[in-house]
Amino acid sequence: MPTVTYNVYEEEKGYQPKVTVNECGLTSGKMPTESFEKKSGKREIIGIVFCCFVAVGIAAISALHFESQRRWDREHTDLEEKYHRLEEKRILMEENTMNETLQLRNFIEMIKREAHNDTLQWRNQTELMKIEARTEALQLRGYVEQVKREARDDTLQLRNDTELIKNEVRAERDKTALAIKSMNESIRFRILELNADISVAVLSQDNQNSYINLILVKLLGWEKSEYVVYKYFRQAVNYGTARSRCAGYLGGRLAATALRDPKVVSNIISKGYTGTFHSRISKPWIGYDDSSTEGTWRWSDGGEMNLETTVWSPNQPDDSNGEDCGHIWYADQGKLQLNDDECDSANYYICEVDK
Protein backbone atom coordinates (compact mmCIF):
# COMPACT_ATOMS: atom_id res chain seq x y z
CA MET A 1 0.00 0.00 0.00
CA PRO A 2 1.28 3.53 -0.76
CA THR A 3 2.42 5.93 1.93
CA VAL A 4 2.08 9.75 2.00
CA THR A 5 4.96 11.96 2.97
CA TYR A 6 4.42 15.65 3.66
CA ASN A 7 6.00 18.59 5.53
CA VAL A 8 4.55 19.80 8.80
CA TYR A 9 3.89 23.46 9.09
CA GLU A 10 4.89 25.19 12.27
CA GLU A 11 3.73 28.65 12.87
CA GLU A 12 6.96 29.80 14.28
CA LYS A 13 9.22 27.75 12.15
CA GLY A 14 7.21 27.33 9.06
CA TYR A 15 7.39 23.93 7.54
CA GLN A 16 9.21 21.22 9.45
CA PRO A 17 10.91 18.04 8.37
CA LYS A 18 8.96 15.40 6.74
CA VAL A 19 6.27 13.26 8.40
CA THR A 20 5.25 10.08 6.76
CA VAL A 21 1.75 8.74 7.27
CA ASN A 22 0.73 5.41 6.02
CA GLU A 23 -2.75 4.35 5.28
CA CYS A 24 -3.16 3.04 8.70
CA GLY A 25 -2.57 6.41 10.22
CA LEU A 26 0.82 5.58 11.59
CA THR A 27 3.38 8.37 11.41
CA SER A 28 7.09 8.48 11.24
CA GLY A 29 9.47 11.34 11.63
CA LYS A 30 9.08 14.33 13.93
CA MET A 31 5.51 14.78 14.99
CA PRO A 32 4.14 18.34 15.37
CA THR A 33 3.60 19.94 18.63
CA GLU A 34 0.29 19.92 20.47
CA SER A 35 -0.63 23.38 19.33
CA PHE A 36 0.15 22.46 15.95
CA GLU A 37 -2.12 19.35 16.25
CA LYS A 38 -5.02 21.55 17.02
CA LYS A 39 -4.32 23.75 14.13
CA SER A 40 -3.53 21.09 11.75
CA GLY A 41 -6.28 18.56 12.71
CA LYS A 42 -8.42 19.69 9.83
CA ARG A 43 -5.48 19.69 7.53
CA GLU A 44 -4.72 16.16 8.54
CA ILE A 45 -8.16 15.01 7.72
CA ILE A 46 -7.89 16.76 4.41
CA GLY A 47 -4.54 15.12 3.90
CA ILE A 48 -5.96 11.77 4.74
CA VAL A 49 -8.81 12.32 2.31
CA PHE A 50 -6.37 13.54 -0.21
CA CYS A 51 -4.22 10.57 0.51
CA CYS A 52 -7.20 8.33 0.02
CA PHE A 53 -7.99 10.04 -3.21
CA VAL A 54 -4.47 9.68 -4.33
CA ALA A 55 -4.49 6.05 -3.27
CA VAL A 56 -7.72 5.45 -5.09
CA GLY A 57 -6.34 7.27 -8.11
CA ILE A 58 -3.16 5.30 -7.94
CA ALA A 59 -5.22 2.11 -7.57
CA ALA A 60 -7.40 3.15 -10.48
CA ILE A 61 -4.36 4.00 -12.52
CA SER A 62 -2.83 0.71 -11.48
CA ALA A 63 -6.03 -1.09 -12.36
CA LEU A 64 -6.14 0.71 -15.70
CA HIS A 65 -2.50 -0.01 -16.18
CA PHE A 66 -3.11 -3.63 -15.23
CA GLU A 67 -6.10 -3.80 -17.54
CA SER A 68 -4.10 -2.15 -20.31
CA GLN A 69 -1.24 -4.50 -19.66
CA ARG A 70 -3.61 -7.45 -19.76
CA ARG A 71 -5.21 -6.19 -22.97
CA TRP A 72 -1.80 -5.61 -24.45
CA ASP A 73 -0.78 -9.10 -23.41
CA ARG A 74 -3.89 -10.52 -24.95
CA GLU A 75 -3.36 -8.60 -28.16
CA HIS A 76 0.25 -9.63 -28.09
CA THR A 77 -0.84 -13.22 -27.64
CA ASP A 78 -3.36 -12.85 -30.50
CA LEU A 79 -0.70 -11.31 -32.68
CA GLU A 80 1.69 -14.08 -31.83
CA GLU A 81 -0.97 -16.67 -32.62
CA LYS A 82 -1.75 -14.87 -35.86
CA TYR A 83 1.96 -14.71 -36.60
CA HIS A 84 2.28 -18.42 -35.96
CA ARG A 85 -0.70 -19.16 -38.17
CA LEU A 86 0.74 -16.98 -40.91
CA GLU A 87 4.09 -18.65 -40.47
CA GLU A 88 2.45 -22.05 -40.71
CA LYS A 89 0.59 -20.87 -43.74
CA ARG A 90 3.79 -19.55 -45.26
CA ILE A 91 5.53 -22.86 -44.58
CA LEU A 92 2.59 -24.69 -46.06
CA MET A 93 2.66 -22.46 -49.11
CA GLU A 94 6.38 -23.00 -49.45
CA GLU A 95 5.81 -26.72 -49.25
CA ASN A 96 3.01 -26.48 -51.80
CA THR A 97 5.18 -24.35 -54.04
CA MET A 98 7.97 -26.86 -53.75
CA ASN A 99 5.57 -29.71 -54.49
CA GLU A 100 4.12 -27.88 -57.48
CA THR A 101 7.60 -27.02 -58.69
CA LEU A 102 8.52 -30.67 -58.34
CA GLN A 103 5.37 -31.74 -60.17
CA LEU A 104 6.10 -29.18 -62.89
CA ARG A 105 9.61 -30.52 -63.26
CA ASN A 106 8.28 -34.05 -63.42
CA PHE A 107 5.73 -32.93 -66.02
CA ILE A 108 8.43 -31.22 -68.10
CA GLU A 109 10.56 -34.36 -67.82
CA MET A 110 7.61 -36.45 -68.90
CA ILE A 111 6.97 -34.16 -71.89
CA LYS A 112 10.63 -34.38 -72.82
CA ARG A 113 10.50 -38.16 -72.61
CA GLU A 114 7.32 -38.26 -74.71
CA ALA A 115 8.82 -35.86 -77.25
CA HIS A 116 11.86 -38.06 -77.37
CA ASN A 117 9.69 -41.14 -77.82
CA ASP A 118 7.66 -39.37 -80.53
CA THR A 119 10.84 -38.43 -82.32
CA LEU A 120 12.04 -42.03 -82.19
CA GLN A 121 8.65 -43.27 -83.35
CA TRP A 122 8.60 -40.73 -86.21
CA ARG A 123 12.07 -41.85 -87.26
CA ASN A 124 10.92 -45.45 -87.20
CA GLN A 125 7.84 -44.59 -89.24
CA THR A 126 9.96 -42.65 -91.71
CA GLU A 127 12.27 -45.62 -92.09
CA LEU A 128 9.26 -47.90 -92.49
CA MET A 129 7.79 -45.63 -95.18
CA LYS A 130 11.11 -45.60 -97.00
CA ILE A 131 11.21 -49.38 -96.89
CA GLU A 132 7.61 -49.58 -98.13
CA ALA A 133 8.35 -47.08 -100.90
CA ARG A 134 11.35 -49.12 -101.99
CA THR A 135 9.26 -52.29 -101.86
CA GLU A 136 6.51 -50.69 -103.97
CA ALA A 137 9.08 -49.41 -106.43
CA LEU A 138 10.45 -52.93 -106.75
CA GLN A 139 6.91 -54.32 -107.16
CA LEU A 140 6.18 -51.66 -109.78
CA ARG A 141 9.29 -52.59 -111.67
CA GLY A 142 8.25 -56.20 -111.53
CA TYR A 143 4.77 -55.25 -112.73
CA VAL A 144 6.20 -53.19 -115.58
CA GLU A 145 8.43 -56.07 -116.56
CA GLN A 146 5.45 -58.40 -116.42
CA VAL A 147 3.39 -56.03 -118.59
CA LYS A 148 6.25 -55.85 -121.06
CA ARG A 149 6.47 -59.63 -121.15
CA GLU A 150 2.72 -59.92 -121.59
CA ALA A 151 2.81 -57.27 -124.31
CA ARG A 152 5.54 -59.22 -126.08
CA ASP A 153 3.54 -62.41 -125.64
CA ASP A 154 0.41 -60.66 -126.94
CA THR A 155 2.35 -59.34 -129.90
CA LEU A 156 3.61 -62.79 -130.68
CA GLN A 157 0.12 -64.21 -130.21
CA LEU A 158 -1.25 -61.48 -132.47
CA ARG A 159 1.30 -62.31 -135.10
CA ASN A 160 0.41 -65.97 -134.86
CA ASP A 161 -3.30 -65.11 -135.01
CA THR A 162 -2.67 -62.87 -137.99
CA GLU A 163 -0.82 -65.63 -139.74
CA LEU A 164 -3.62 -68.03 -138.86
CA ILE A 165 -6.22 -65.61 -140.20
CA LYS A 166 -4.19 -65.10 -143.33
CA ASN A 167 -4.03 -68.83 -143.82
CA GLU A 168 -7.76 -69.13 -143.19
CA VAL A 169 -8.45 -66.27 -145.63
CA ARG A 170 -6.25 -67.94 -148.21
CA ALA A 171 -8.05 -71.24 -147.65
CA GLU A 172 -11.44 -69.48 -147.87
CA ARG A 173 -10.33 -67.63 -150.98
CA ASP A 174 -9.23 -70.87 -152.57
CA LYS A 175 -12.48 -72.49 -151.49
CA THR A 176 -14.51 -69.57 -152.90
CA ALA A 177 -12.53 -69.69 -156.13
CA LEU A 178 -13.35 -73.38 -156.42
CA ALA A 179 -17.03 -72.65 -155.66
CA ILE A 180 -17.12 -69.87 -158.25
CA LYS A 181 -15.48 -72.12 -160.74
CA SER A 182 -18.03 -74.83 -159.98
CA MET A 183 -20.88 -72.26 -160.19
CA ASN A 184 -19.60 -71.03 -163.53
CA GLU A 185 -19.63 -74.56 -164.74
CA SER A 186 -23.18 -74.99 -163.44
CA ILE A 187 -24.33 -71.73 -165.05
CA ARG A 188 -22.68 -72.64 -168.28
CA PHE A 189 -24.43 -76.01 -168.15
CA ARG A 190 -27.75 -74.28 -167.28
CA ILE A 191 -27.38 -71.91 -170.25
CA LEU A 192 -26.78 -74.83 -172.49
CA GLU A 193 -29.96 -76.45 -171.11
CA LEU A 194 -31.92 -73.20 -171.60
CA ASN A 195 -30.69 -72.82 -175.13
CA ALA A 196 -31.85 -76.34 -175.83
CA ASP A 197 -35.30 -75.65 -174.29
CA ILE A 198 -35.65 -72.42 -176.28
CA SER A 199 -34.69 -74.20 -179.48
CA VAL A 200 -37.27 -76.88 -178.76
CA ALA A 201 -39.94 -74.26 -178.01
CA VAL A 202 -39.21 -72.24 -181.10
CA LEU A 203 -39.06 -75.32 -183.29
CA SER A 204 -42.18 -76.93 -181.83
CA GLN A 205 -44.61 -73.98 -181.53
CA ASP A 206 -43.00 -71.04 -183.28
CA ASN A 207 -44.86 -68.87 -180.77
CA GLN A 208 -43.50 -65.61 -179.44
CA ASN A 209 -45.47 -65.81 -176.18
CA SER A 210 -44.18 -69.26 -175.46
CA TYR A 211 -40.69 -67.96 -175.90
CA ILE A 212 -41.35 -65.06 -173.53
CA ASN A 213 -43.15 -67.27 -170.99
CA LEU A 214 -40.22 -69.58 -171.02
CA ILE A 215 -37.84 -66.75 -170.19
CA LEU A 216 -40.17 -65.39 -167.48
CA VAL A 217 -40.62 -68.74 -165.84
CA LYS A 218 -37.13 -70.12 -166.27
CA LEU A 219 -35.17 -66.97 -165.50
CA LEU A 220 -37.44 -64.54 -163.58
CA GLY A 221 -39.41 -66.83 -161.28
CA TRP A 222 -42.93 -66.29 -162.72
CA GLU A 223 -45.56 -68.92 -161.92
CA LYS A 224 -47.46 -70.93 -164.50
CA SER A 225 -51.23 -71.46 -164.76
CA GLU A 226 -53.44 -72.95 -167.39
CA TYR A 227 -53.81 -69.76 -169.44
CA VAL A 228 -51.20 -67.28 -168.17
CA VAL A 229 -47.97 -66.92 -166.28
CA TYR A 230 -48.17 -64.49 -163.33
CA LYS A 231 -46.05 -62.91 -160.61
CA TYR A 232 -46.65 -61.17 -157.28
CA PHE A 233 -44.46 -58.05 -156.95
CA ARG A 234 -43.50 -56.85 -153.43
CA GLN A 235 -43.09 -53.24 -154.50
CA ALA A 236 -45.56 -50.60 -153.23
CA VAL A 237 -46.59 -48.31 -156.11
CA ASN A 238 -49.78 -46.55 -157.25
CA TYR A 239 -52.21 -48.16 -159.67
CA GLY A 240 -50.90 -46.39 -162.79
CA THR A 241 -47.29 -47.36 -162.10
CA ALA A 242 -48.27 -50.98 -161.43
CA ARG A 243 -50.21 -51.11 -164.69
CA SER A 244 -47.27 -49.62 -166.64
CA ARG A 245 -44.77 -52.06 -165.09
CA CYS A 246 -46.96 -55.03 -166.02
CA ALA A 247 -47.33 -53.68 -169.54
CA GLY A 248 -43.51 -53.56 -169.73
CA TYR A 249 -43.53 -57.32 -170.16
CA LEU A 250 -44.52 -58.12 -173.73
CA GLY A 251 -48.28 -58.79 -173.64
CA GLY A 252 -48.35 -58.13 -169.89
CA ARG A 253 -51.15 -56.54 -167.78
CA LEU A 254 -52.41 -56.34 -164.20
CA ALA A 255 -53.80 -59.77 -163.19
CA ALA A 256 -57.31 -60.61 -164.43
CA THR A 257 -57.38 -63.96 -166.25
CA ALA A 258 -55.34 -65.62 -163.52
CA LEU A 259 -57.89 -64.61 -160.87
CA ARG A 260 -60.62 -66.70 -162.49
CA ASP A 261 -58.50 -69.84 -162.09
CA PRO A 262 -59.26 -71.57 -158.75
CA LYS A 263 -55.76 -73.08 -158.70
CA VAL A 264 -54.17 -69.64 -159.04
CA VAL A 265 -56.45 -68.17 -156.34
CA SER A 266 -55.64 -71.06 -154.03
CA ASN A 267 -51.94 -70.47 -154.64
CA ILE A 268 -52.31 -66.71 -153.98
CA ILE A 269 -54.09 -67.40 -150.68
CA SER A 270 -51.68 -70.12 -149.53
CA LYS A 271 -48.64 -67.94 -150.19
CA GLY A 272 -50.13 -64.97 -148.32
CA TYR A 273 -50.16 -62.66 -151.37
CA THR A 274 -53.43 -61.16 -150.15
CA GLY A 275 -51.95 -59.89 -146.92
CA THR A 276 -54.38 -59.44 -144.05
CA PHE A 277 -57.47 -57.36 -143.45
CA HIS A 278 -55.50 -54.70 -141.57
CA SER A 279 -52.32 -54.76 -143.66
CA ARG A 280 -51.48 -51.38 -145.10
CA ILE A 281 -49.52 -52.00 -148.30
CA SER A 282 -49.59 -55.69 -149.17
CA LYS A 283 -53.13 -55.47 -150.69
CA PRO A 284 -52.08 -56.09 -154.30
CA TRP A 285 -53.48 -54.14 -157.25
CA ILE A 286 -55.29 -56.26 -159.86
CA GLY A 287 -56.50 -55.39 -163.36
CA TYR A 288 -59.98 -54.15 -162.36
CA ASP A 289 -61.15 -50.45 -162.29
CA ASP A 290 -63.95 -48.03 -163.12
CA SER A 291 -61.62 -45.21 -164.17
CA SER A 292 -63.29 -44.83 -167.61
CA THR A 293 -66.91 -44.72 -166.39
CA GLU A 294 -67.81 -44.35 -162.75
CA GLY A 295 -69.62 -47.45 -161.56
CA THR A 296 -68.73 -49.49 -164.67
CA TRP A 297 -65.98 -51.87 -163.62
CA ARG A 298 -63.82 -53.40 -166.35
CA TRP A 299 -61.23 -56.21 -166.19
CA SER A 300 -57.86 -55.62 -167.84
CA ASP A 301 -58.42 -58.65 -170.14
CA GLY A 302 -61.99 -57.56 -170.99
CA GLY A 303 -63.45 -60.65 -169.31
CA GLU A 304 -66.05 -61.20 -166.61
CA MET A 305 -65.70 -61.77 -162.85
CA ASN A 306 -65.74 -65.40 -161.70
CA LEU A 307 -67.78 -65.22 -158.49
CA GLU A 308 -66.37 -68.59 -157.45
CA THR A 309 -62.96 -67.04 -156.99
CA THR A 310 -63.43 -63.27 -156.56
CA VAL A 311 -66.20 -61.20 -154.92
CA TRP A 312 -66.55 -57.66 -153.66
CA SER A 313 -66.00 -57.30 -149.93
CA PRO A 314 -69.17 -56.38 -148.00
CA ASN A 315 -70.35 -52.80 -148.73
CA GLN A 316 -67.79 -52.45 -151.56
CA PRO A 317 -67.25 -50.81 -153.94
CA ASP A 318 -68.22 -47.62 -152.10
CA ASP A 319 -66.29 -45.10 -154.23
CA SER A 320 -65.26 -43.42 -150.98
CA ASN A 321 -63.25 -40.29 -151.89
CA GLY A 322 -63.51 -41.26 -155.54
CA GLU A 323 -62.07 -44.78 -155.36
CA ASP A 324 -61.72 -46.19 -158.89
CA CYS A 325 -59.02 -48.87 -158.65
CA GLY A 326 -59.50 -52.48 -157.50
CA HIS A 327 -57.28 -54.60 -155.29
CA ILE A 328 -57.38 -57.82 -153.30
CA TRP A 329 -58.16 -56.83 -149.71
CA TYR A 330 -58.09 -60.20 -147.98
CA ALA A 331 -59.23 -63.82 -148.40
CA ASP A 332 -62.36 -65.34 -146.95
CA GLN A 333 -63.69 -68.89 -147.42
CA GLY A 334 -61.31 -69.50 -150.32
CA LYS A 335 -62.40 -66.41 -152.21
CA LEU A 336 -60.56 -63.18 -152.88
CA GLN A 337 -62.36 -60.24 -151.26
CA LEU A 338 -62.03 -57.16 -153.47
CA ASN A 339 -62.21 -53.43 -152.62
CA ASP A 340 -62.06 -50.18 -154.53
CA ASP A 341 -59.22 -47.90 -153.38
CA GLU A 342 -57.85 -44.49 -154.30
CA CYS A 343 -55.65 -45.01 -157.34
CA ASP A 344 -52.84 -42.95 -155.76
CA SER A 345 -52.46 -45.40 -152.88
CA ALA A 346 -49.22 -47.41 -152.74
CA ASN A 347 -49.85 -51.18 -152.98
CA TYR A 348 -48.09 -54.29 -154.17
CA TYR A 349 -49.35 -55.70 -157.48
CA ILE A 350 -49.82 -58.91 -159.54
CA CYS A 351 -48.97 -59.05 -163.23
CA GLU A 352 -49.87 -61.72 -165.81
CA VAL A 353 -48.80 -62.56 -169.37
CA ASP A 354 -50.80 -64.80 -171.71
CA LYS A 355 -49.28 -68.14 -172.56
| Residues forming the site for Ca ion (CB under 5 A) | 290, 316, 318-319, 323-324, 339-340
Min dist CB 332 to Ca ion, Å, is: 16
Select 223 or 290, whichever has its Cβ closest to Ca ion: 290
* Identity of the residue, 211 or 312, whose beta carbon is nearer to Ca ion in the bound complex: 312
- Is 316 or 345 the residue whose CB approaches Ca ion more closely? 316
Q: Which is nearer to Ca ion, 296 or 333 (CB)?
A: 296
Kindly state the smallest distance separating residue 340's Cβ from Ca ion, in Å.
4
Least distance CB 298 / Ca ion (angstroms): 12
Least spacing, CB of residue 285 vs Ca ion, in Å? 14
Compare residues 231 and 283 and give the one whose CB is closer to Ca ion: 283
Which CB, 73 or 318, lies closer to Ca ion?
Answer: 318
CA 31 – CA 12 distance, rounded (Å): 15
Radius of gyration of the chain (CA): 79
SS (H, E, C) the chain: CCCEEEEEEECCCEEEEEEEECCCCCEEECCCCHHHHHHHHHHHHHHHHHHHHHHHHHHHHHHHHHHHHHHHHHHHHHHHHHHHHHHHHHHHHHHHHHHHHHHHHHHHHHHHHHHHHHHHHHHHHHHHHHHHHHHHHHHHHHHHHHHHHHHHHHHHHHHHHHHHHHHHHHHHHHHHHHHHHHHHHHHHHHHHHHHHHHHHHHHHHCCHHHHHHHHHHHHHCCEECCCEEEEEEEEEECHHHHHHHHHCCCCEEECCHHHHCHHHHHHHHHCCCCCCCCCCCCCCEEEEEEEEECCEEEECCCCCCCCCCEEECCCCCCCCCCCCEEEEEEEECCEEEEEEECCCCCEEEEEEEEC
CB of 323 to Ca ion, least distance (A): 5
Distance of closest approach, residue 253 Cβ to Ca ion, in angstroms? 20
Q: Min. distance of Cβ 284 from Ca ion in angstroms? A: 15
Q: Which is nearer to Ca ion, 253 or 283 (CB)?
A: 283
* Cβ-based nearer residue to Ca ion, 44 or 340: 340
Query: In whole angstroms, how close is the CB of 295 to Ca ion at the nearest point?
Result: 7
